[in-house]
Structure 1
Amino acid sequence: MEYVLLSDLSLQRQGCKIKVRICRLWESSAPFLKGDIFGLDCLMVDEKGYSLQATIRKKDVEELKSRLAEGNVYLIEKFNVIPSKKKFIVVERLYMIQINKWTSLTLVEENVDQIPLYSFKFLSFPHVENQRYNDTVLTDVFGRVTAVSEIAHKYVGQTLTPLRNLEIQDLEMNVLSVTLWDKFALEFDDSGILDKDGHTSLIIILAGMTVRSFKEKINLSTCSASKIYINLQIPEVTQFVDRLQPMSTSIQRINTSQQQSISPQEEILANRKNIAGLLSLDLPTSQNIKFTCEATIAEVDTSFGWWYKACYNCKSAIKTFDDSFWYKLNTIVEDGSGSANFTIFGRLAQDLIHIPAQNLATSVGSDKFTLHPLIKTIVGQKYIFQIVPDLHRFRTSAHSFKVLKIFNENLLIKSEEELPPTTQNEISKETSTSSSSPILDDDLNEIPTAKKRRLKRRLIFDEAPSTNEDKM
């Protein structure tokens, strides 16, 4: 055999030739930088069914993109075997392939039937929950489509982006919610499927998905590495259809909220008040209203600590949970008219500090009641906060507010729970938001300076903490 198998590749075994099929091919991109890509990635599979991810750096994409096509088989040589990325990969391997302009790509058209057309690693619905915010390896699932929404729109950064919600079901009647973003929402053709006679099931494969949660409900979300297949003829789908219980297969319509989308420019000015105005609020009439306030963080009060331990899934405080530390920063903010306490929770605080709470809380010499030096970097910084009154602390002598969002001067904002994952490379070793192919240090050199600054300055916001968090 003139070529080696993908499973035989290693850092020590370079200069080989491989014969593979390109199962999936995608441009790695971030929703906040529309029109820009970080590179071209693909999933390869060999005759033994072994799959491996390959990547092409941005500077080589234009030259190589036209030479690769999804579904084709190639003899490939003069490539590099490199360590696999630590996050946002579609198959879990120690190594991956880097293709460059010196790589030889020879199309093969004969004796290719033994190489599989597709490669998936499906998770059962109950196991999907274990992947929540775990973007090390993206998730493959399939199921019967039971409900579809119309296309809605939501702002991602400053761009109004289409989205569509689905519900899918497995053989045990478990249901998963799915959000298709951008092109995936537009390309999903729902014309006619709601009017089917109820005898034909619509089986969908969702490959390369991220797993998120919204209001404690698991949600699958597309990213740039995602791929969608409908009624694909593979053994797993055939067996699934054969085992379906006799039932109506009609697809329901999901009713979506018709609330008007508010642009970041509008949201950042909505219900703007200074601190003096916030402190004079009439709570019975304003407890559920969101306000915005531009203020400077003057200090972080650590009287009750700067972190707490919580259940990873619901964020409820617990006494023993070895690995799950979450930020709870009781910041004192000022704006010239007064001062108030703004409490910043969880990932919202993490994205201000750029390091997970568990990394700092478990570092040598760390103390819960002594502010870590890296957290002090936010002191003296001015932000625009979206807040709501913290009723529990308002009942005490302190006037406190819970931070829902933070805006920066570029209006580049993102919701971990509701917006599509991004490809920003985070410092976090903890599970966090992102999409396919994070930006590596070398890749930053290929991004224009202005965009690089926007990536580094971007602030991210969380969903408001649960009621249990409020009681801590």
Structure 2
Amino acid sequence: MDLAEVTPIVQLRPYTKMEKIKVRVCRIWKSNVPGTIQKHVNLHCILVDEMNHAVEASTKDIDYEVIASKIEAGSSYEIMNFRTIKIRGQYKVVPHETQIILTDTTVFKKLSNVFSPIPRHWFFLQDCNSLYPHLDKVDILTDVIGHLTAIQHLEPKQINQRIVQKCDVRIENIRKEELSITLWAEVAERFSSLSLQASSLPIVIVFTSLKVRPYLQNIVLNSTAYSLFFIDPDIPELNSYKSMFSNSKDPVKTLPPLQVNSMKLRFYGQQGELQSMN
């Protein structure tokens, strides 16, 4: 019988041995080497416990396939034999200062029943009014929730020597203030492939791990290599949005292509961001 004590996520510390955690994997993504095709660097995931505290976990590339075969988003596990380190100083997706490293010796015990319910999702949600302090800062990335109002078809953009797809999206918050989000590369392609016409209205979406940037005296959120999206996620905020926009039966609008004449784009950094350049 395994009697190892479960450590709450809030008590995790870098470089300190912990016997076991009991968590749900609330999202998984992979990071790629820029300029290569599906070259996996490592796997990332967000783990959340019954106290609704979250921590990022990741693998080294040598352990990517092993870990990817053992876990799935939405499932709960007891996890043992892992390491902890200090999380990177930039591009964090959770506030926790500790990061878990999963290796080929890490043990996952899948739980069919969890006595204390563990939330299905965890997001670092920011209100529109709190975005200005995050302009061009990359210490921690931003998650937002909104009612989907408009979407632009995919547009190819040349980034250095390669073509990257982009897609603009409009959402509005609970106060019906509009916000623009620009999705790039894989996340843009995945979002554009959705059959939104088949979705029941209103459509409420969370976009994760966004960079807050200024554009023509407005705020625009840009996706990064860590970004994902979730339609109608099971979180308390969803009920408020569904109630507020319950009478909104207008279909999602199609945005016209953005005319960019003299603006060039360049790619920089492993995080998959884009920046305008005159």
| TM-score interval for Structure 1 and Structure 2 normalised by the shorter chain | 0.7 to 0.9
Equivalence for 2:105: 102
Equivalence for 2:277: 463
Tell me the distance in 1 between the aligned counterparts of 2:34 and 2:219: 21
Residue number among 69, 87, 92 corresponding to 2:90 in the alignment: 87
Say whether 1:138 aligns with 2:141. yes
Equivalence for 1:153: 156
CA distance 1:128–1:29, shift in 2 (3 Å)? farther
CA distance 1:247–1:69, shift in 2 (3 Å)? closer
> By how many angstroms is 1:147 displaced?
1.1
Residue number among 126, 131, 141 corresponding to 1:128 in the alignment: 131
**What are the superposed Cα offsets for residues 250-279 of structure 1, whole Å, 9 maximum, x if unpaired?**
32211004779xxxxxxxxxxxxxxxxxxx
Tell me the distance in 2 between the aligned counterparts of 1:192 and 1:177: 18
C-alpha contact 2:147 2:171 (8 A) present in aligned 1: yes
Equivalence for 2:232: 231
CA distance 1:28–1:116, shift in 2 (3 Å)? same
Equivalence for 1:243: 244
Tell me the distance in 2 between the aligned counterparts of 1:192 and 1:38: 32
Q: Unaligned stretches of 5+ in structure 1?
A: 261-289, 291-403, 406-413, 424-433, 437-459, 465-472
- Equivalent residue runs for 1:248-397 within 5 Å: 249-257=250-258
- Equivalent residue runs for 1:402-413 within 5 Å: none
> By how many angstroms is 1:203 displaced?
1.0
Say whether 1:50 aligns with 2:86. no
**What are the superposed Cα offsets for residues 195-253 of structure 1, whole Å, 9 maximum, x if unpaired?**
99xx8211111112222233333221222211111122321011122234855543221
Tell me the distance in 2 between the aligned counterparts of 1:190 and 1:103: 35
Equivalence for 2:14: 11
Tell me the distance in 2 between the aligned counterparts of 1:461 and 1:178: 14
**C-alpha RMSD over aligned residues:** 2.8
After TM superposition, the score normalised by the length of structure 2 is: 0.87
C-alpha contact 1:45 1:116 (8 A) present in aligned 2: yes
> By how many angstroms is 1:163 displaced?
1.6
CA distance 1:211–1:6, shift in 2 (3 Å)? same
**What are the superposed Cα offsets for residues 306-351 of structure 1, whole Å, 9 maximum, x if unpaired?**
xxxxxxxxxxxxxxxxxxxxxxxxxxxxxxxxxxxxxxxxxxxxxx
CA distance 1:154–1:77, shift in 2 (3 Å)? same
Q: Which has the higher helix share?
A: 1
> By how many angstroms is 1:462 displaced?
5.0
> By how many angstroms is 1:8 displaced?
1.4
2:277 aligns to what SS in structure 1? coil
CA distance 1:128–1:249, shift in 2 (3 Å)? farther
Equivalence for 2:78: 75
**What are the superposed Cα offsets for residues 73-94 of structure 1, whole Å, 9 maximum, x if unpaired?**
1111111111111111110112
Moved more, 63-72 or 105-114: 105-114
Q: Unaligned stretches of 5+ in structure 2?
A: none
2:187 aligns to what SS in structure 1? helix
Tell me the distance in 1 between the aligned counterparts of 2:78 and 2:31: 24
> By how many angstroms is 1:24 displaced?
0.9
**What are the superposed Cα offsets for residues 448-471 of structure 1, whole Å, 9 maximum, x if unpaired?**
xxxxxxxxxxxx97523xxxxxxx
Aligned-residue sequence identity (percent) comes to 23
Tell me the distance in 1 between the aligned counterparts of 2:196 and 2:48: 35
Tell me the distance in 1 between the aligned counterparts of 2:75 and 2:185: 27
C-alpha contact 1:145 1:168 (8 A) present in aligned 2: yes
> By how many angstroms is 1:435 displaced?
4.9
**What are the superposed Cα offsets for residues 175-194 of structure 1, whole Å, 9 maximum, x if unpaired?**
1111122222222245463x
Equivalence for 2:210: 209
Q: Which has the higher strand share?
A: 2
Tell me the distance in 2 between the aligned counterparts of 1:249 and 1:93: 40
Equivalence for 1:60: 63
1:38 aligns to what SS in structure 2? strand
CA distance 1:124–1:110, shift in 2 (3 Å)? same
Tell me the distance in 2 between the aligned counterparts of 1:31 and 1:37: 10
> By how many angstroms is 1:38 displaced?
2.5
| Aligned residue identity for 1:254 | L
After TM superposition, the score normalised by the length of structure 1 is: 0.53
